[in-house]
Structure 1
Amino acid sequence: MHRDRSWLSPVGGLCIVAFLVWRVGADPFVDAVRHLDAGSVAVAAAIALVTTVCGAWRWVIVARGLGAELTLRSAVSESYRSQFLNVTLPGGVLGDVHRGVRHGRDGGDLGRGLRSVVWERSAGQVVLAVVTGVVLLLVPVTPGMRSGTGVLVVCVAAVLLAAALVVVLVSSRTHGPDSRVVRVVRAVSADLRAGVLGRRTWPGVLGSSTAVVVGHAATFVVAARAAGVSAPTTRLLPLALVVLVAMSLPLNVAGWGPREGAAAWAFGAAGLGAAAGVGTAVVYGVMVLVSSLPGAVVLALGRRDRARPSGLACAEGVAGG
């Protein structure tokens, strides 16, 4: 009998937040929001616009590599909608599932639409992991931070691999005498060659993913400054990357949970204090929420457009009657 375990993700996020409130108190949460200013939010929103366009372009590259048509304009609007759903719904990934389903249905191939999202997100996480590893090797940090980040990367990689295998297994329509494992391996290999590692795709995927990582890290530094953290940027950069890796874990409530937990741990390990980490993560979360508000507009316009045909039909029916 299949049991629905979707409740585990929000519960995990709530447990992390509750633990942090127990350890550092509620003051860092309240003070962080109190110190937030409009200028910092505006800077974060501007950076979010750039990262959203870059992420959307990565999706376009991967989707076209897999043989699906996708325009940059559509990808940007869908990405904003996805971000808004990710930061307002449990799990932090439902927005990505939503855009993958919509793209697949619009193109007549649900599986390919979902795979394009899985591969473009996975490519972004791989680049994030590589950049984080390089920075942690070049910038002086504690051995504990390096080992802890390594564990985080392994966990994120396992989650991404599991998601990719599930999507490929469900969407693969190949048949023949070969075993299911062989068919999945072949499908994954074909997707990677065409959508991510192809000669015409990998430069764009790498460049756009790097731009997204830089943008998110810059937003984290802006959040730290707004939260009152005065440490040098070179000291904050590795902490930002560690938190970004932790944010990839789908154990959150509308984005809250692993982000604050990782920030508390990283800032504490760096000697800046767990409370400063929590405050920075809270400010970052508010900035992300505000920056995703264009997605709410896209969502509302989409619902209005879907409701319009039925309304026109009813009006025509009344007029004809």
Structure 2
Amino acid sequence: MDTPVPCPGSAPRALLARLGTPAVRTRLGSAAGVLILTVLLWRLGTGVLLDGLRRIDGPAVLAALGIGLVTTVFSAWRWALVARGLRIRLPLGPAVADYYRALFLNAALPGGVLGDVHRAVRHGQSTGDLGRGVRSVVLERAAGQLALFAAGAVMLLTMPSPVRDDMRQAVPLVGLAALGACAVVLALRMNRPASARRDRAPRRLLAEAREGLLSRRNGPGVLLASLVVLAGYLAMFVLAARVAGVGAAVTELLPLGVLALLAMALPLNVGGWGPREGVAAWAFGAAGLGAGRGLAVAVVYGVLSLVASLPGVIVLLARWYAGLRAGRRTATTAAVPGARKHTAYAPSAPSPSAPAAAVASAASVAVLSEVSIEKYAPKESTRLARSSLPFSAEPSEGRPMTPESV
């Protein structure tokens, strides 16, 4: 029998396909973030870092919670506006609670985005339209990133920073590259076949983006919310600098904060840690403030941001407790003979295992499994109720009690 000969190049393709999975990308990004932090601590030491952490006191924690409240409420309002543009109802109160929970999961889990994935899937499942629910979260996050890029570019071009001269030299090249890309896209669009031009999917996506972000009804609110959120993030960075003992002027700290925020968008972090600390250390060193001070400011910023997201723990515990009570009521109802014939299950709260599944997940696949657990929570509760019955079962038809008869 002939042995199949592997196709040349199949092994590299299989390896690349395996490396492209979400779980592997998350692990690689987390490893890169840990490596960056390890190298920084090895080169710069821990003296300034520990001194900055010891400076975090009660007023700093309260200020971080206040800034976090403002940024979270305006972020949730932006999300509600975008959802309304996509014809999805999202009250502000639940949006704030879901946003707090997503922020905490982003800070506690590797990758820094799993909380947003969880929020998108839950919102889509609760509205009955998973696609629109996910797109509303994507557009909301895109609005925040666009505001950061636009306002950050203005600050880096006008305020003293280590990259101001390079930015000014790169602006003409970037503008020409953008014009060339637009010309290529326009040419490809005009040369497409007529059947491809009639494809409605891209048009629908663009229409939803315009309605959710740029419409006359939503545009001003989305812009205002994005600017307030960005101002809150920069205020948190200035607070972290003051806590770490950096006395530089605010106009000098803002460009450095923009660079740190831009670094956080890189998918090479552990809950946001890694590139932010590396860029802050480099930027503070280039600005003459000391690389060690930059590392301390970035770490204090990370700690204060985690403190600002702690109300998300309350949301997780409250919904876990509500799901636990709902599961117990369902189990009690299922234990009554004939009760299942007359009981109509309403959409239930998350099952008792929902927070554990969210915290233990390492990729968006785990988030999807949590949604499925919520969907079938009554069946799981019934299974738990039945598992307690064998200990009180009675033998029937004269047969001895065995594991099979039970």
Superposition TM-score tier, normalisation by shorter sequence: 0.7 to 0.9
Give 1:269 shift. 1.5
Alignment of 1:301-312 (within 5 A): 301-312=318-329
Over the aligned positions, Cα root-mean-square deviation in angstroms equals 2.3
Q: Higher relative contact order at CA 8 Å, sep ≥6: structure 1 or structure 2?
A: 1
Amino acid at match of 1:50: V
Assess if the C-alpha contact under 8 Å between 1:89 and 1:254 holds in 2: yes
Partner of residue 229, structure 2: 212
Provide the rounded CA distance (Å) in 2 between the counterparts of 1:19 and 1:59. 38
SS in 2 for 1:186: helix
Amino acid at match of 1:68: I
Pick the aligned partner of 1:26 from 27, 43, 46: 46
Structure 1: give runs of 5+ residues left out of the alignment. Answer: 155-176
Assess if the C-alpha contact under 8 Å between 1:264 and 1:275 holds in 2: yes
Alignment of 1:160-179 (within 5 A): 178-179=195-196
Partner of residue 297, structure 1: 314
1:72 and 2:72 matched: no
Give 1:141 shift. 2.4
SS in 1 for 2:108: coil
Partner of residue 186, structure 1: 203
Pick the aligned partner of 1:98 from 110, 118, 135: 118
Amino acid at match of 1:107: T
Assess if the C-alpha contact under 8 Å between 1:220 and 1:240 holds in 2: yes
> Structure 1 residues 265, 101: closer, same or farther in 2, change over 3 A?
same
Partner of residue 166, structure 1: none
% identical equivalent positions: 50
Give 1:143 shift. 3.9
1:50 and 2:67 matched: no
Pick the aligned partner of 1:233 from 225, 229, 250: 250
Pick the aligned partner of 2:272 from 252, 255, 265: 255
> Structure 1 residues 28, 75: closer, same or farther in 2, change over 3 A?
same
Partner of residue 372, structure 2: none
Provide the rounded CA distance (Å) in 2 between the counterparts of 1:145 and 1:250. 27
Give 1:248 shift. 1.7
Provide the rounded CA distance (Å) in 2 between the counterparts of 1:98 and 1:252. 18
Alignment of 1:112-151 (within 5 A): 112-143=132-163, 146-147=166-167
Structure 2: give runs of 5+ residues left out of the alignment. Answer: 1-13, 175-193, 338-388, 390-406
Partner of residue 224, structure 1: 241
Amino acid at match of 1:73: G
Amino acid at match of 2:51: D
> Structure 1 residues 270, 104: closer, same or farther in 2, change over 3 A?
same
Assess if the C-alpha contact under 8 Å between 2:139 and 2:213 holds in 1: yes
Pick the aligned partner of 1:315 from 332, 336, 339: 332
Question: If the length of structure 1 is used for normalisation, what is the TM-score?
Answer: 0.86
Q: Deviations over 1:106-159 (max 9, x none)?
A: 0001111111111111111111111111112221223467549x89xx9xxxxx
> Structure 1 residues 20, 110: closer, same or farther in 2, change over 3 A?
same
Pick the aligned partner of 1:199 from 216, 232, 248: 216
Give 1:250 shift. 2.4
Pick the aligned partner of 1:7 from 20, 23, 27: 27
SS in 2 for 1:7: helix
Give 1:9 shift. 1.5
Assess if the C-alpha contact under 8 Å between 2:147 and 2:226 holds in 1: yes
Question: If the length of structure 2 is used for normalisation, what is the TM-score?
Answer: 0.69
Provide the rounded CA distance (Å) in 1 between the counterparts of 2:197 and 2:129. 21
Provide the rounded CA distance (Å) in 2 between the counterparts of 1:99 and 1:236. 32
Q: Deviations over 1:157-211 (max 9, x none)?
A: xxxxxxxxxxxxxxxxxxxx95599555323311211111111111111000000
SS in 2 for 1:83: helix
Assess if the C-alpha contact under 8 Å between 1:127 and 1:209 holds in 2: yes
> Structure 1 residues 241, 305: closer, same or farther in 2, change over 3 A?
same
Provide the rounded CA distance (Å) in 2 between the counterparts of 1:38 and 1:309. 38
User: Which stretch has the larger CA shift, 249-258 or 57-66?
Assistant: 249-258
